[in-house]
Amino acid sequence: MDFDLIIIGAGVAAASALDTLAGRGLRIALIDKARSAGGRCATRRLSRDPQSPWLDSGAQYFTARSAALRQPLERWRAQGWLHNWSPRIACLDEQAVPQPSPDQQTRWVSPLGLNRFVRQVIAEHNQSIEMLLGTRVLSARPSAQGWQLEDDQARQWQCRRLLVTAPPAQARDLLPATLATALPAVEMQACLAVLLSCEHALDFDALFGGRNTSGIGWAANSLSKLERAPARGLWTLHADAQFSHGIVDPEQAAQDLTDRFASVCGLPAHAFTPVHQHLWRYARPAQAQIHDTPSMLLAQQLAIAGDWMHGGRVEGAWLSGQAAARALYAG
Ligand SMILES: Cc1cc2nc3c(=O)[nH]c(=O)nc-3n(C[C@H](O)[C@H](O)[C@H](O)COP(=O)(O)OP(=O)(O)OC[C@H]3O[C@@H](n4cnc5c(N)ncnc54)[C@H](O)[C@@H]3O)c2cc1C
Are residue 173 and residue 49 in the same domain, yes or no?
no
Q: Are 326 and 161 in contact (CB under 8 A)?
A: no
Are residue 172 and residue 199 in the same domain, yes or no?
no
CATH of the domain at 254: 3.90.660.10
CA of 280 to the centre of ligand 1 (A): 9
CATH of the domain at 13: 3.50.50.60
d(Cα 45, Cα 275) in Å, to the nearest integer?
Answer: 10
Are residue 148 and residue 251 in the same domain, yes or no?
no
Are residue 142 and residue 159 in the same domain, yes or no?
yes
Are residue 194 and residue 228 in the same domain, yes or no?
yes
Q: What is the pLDDT of residues 266-282, one digit of tens each?
A: 999 999 999 999 999 99
Burial of 95 (0-12, 13-18, 19+ CB in 10 A): exposed
Are residue 259 and residue 271 in the same domain, yes or no?
yes
Residue 174 lies in a domain: yes
Are residue 100 and residue 193 in the same domain, yes or no?
yes
Q: Phi/psi class of residue 304: alpha, beta or left (left: φ > 0; alpha: ψ in -120 to 50)?
A: beta
Residue 125 lies in a domain: no
Q: In which domain, by residue range, is 296 found?
A: 1-35+133-186+289-331
Residue 119 lies in a domain: no
CA of 283 to the centre of ligand 1 (A): 7
Helix (H, G, I), strand (E, B) or coil at 303: strand
Are residue 144 and residue 11 in the same domain, yes or no?
yes
- Identify the residue whose C-alpha is closest to ligand 1 atom 12: 313
**Ligand 1 first shell, C-beta below 6 A:** 8-14, 31-34, 39-41, 58-62, 136-137, 165-167, 170, 174, 191, 193, 238, 280, 283-284, 306-307, 312-315, 317
Residue 217 lies in a domain: yes
Helix (H, G, I), strand (E, B) or coil at 171: helix
Are residue 194 and residue 235 in the same domain, yes or no?
yes
- Residue-wise DSSP of 234-302: EEEEEE-HHHHTT-S-HHHHHHHHHHHHHHHHTS-GGGEEEEEEEEEEEEEESS--B-PPPHHHHTTTE
Range 73-97 average pLDDT: 96
Q: Are 317 and 298 in contact (CB under 8 A)?
A: no
| Structural domains counted in the chain | 2
Q: What is the pLDDT of residues 4-57, one digit of tens each?
A: 999 999 999 999 999 999 999 999 999 999 999 999 999 999 988 878 899 999
Helix (H, G, I), strand (E, B) or coil at 120: helix
Q: Which amino acid is at 194?
A: V
Q: What is the pLDDT of residues 171-222, one digit of tens each?
A: 999 999 999 999 999 999 999 999 999 999 999 999 999 999 999 999 999 9
- Identify the residue whose C-alpha is closest to ligand 1 atom 26: 306
Are residue 225 and residue 307 in the same domain, yes or no?
no
Ligand 1 atom with the smallest distance to the CA of 173 is 41
Are residue 178 and residue 273 in the same domain, yes or no?
no
Range 89-100 average pLDDT: 97
Residue 126 lies in a domain: no
Q: Which of 105, 138, 238, 307 to mutate to test the pocket of ligand 1 (most atoms within 8 A of CB)?
A: 307
Question: What mean pLDDT value characterizes the chain?
Answer: 95
Are residue 27 and residue 158 in the same domain, yes or no?
yes
**What pLDDT shows up at residue 224?**
94
The count of other CB atoms within 10 Å of the CB of residue 248 is 7
Residue 139 lies in a domain: yes
Q: How confident is the model at residue 135 (pLDDT cuts 50, 70, 90)?
A: very high
- Identify the residue whose C-alpha is closest to ligand 1 atom 28: 39
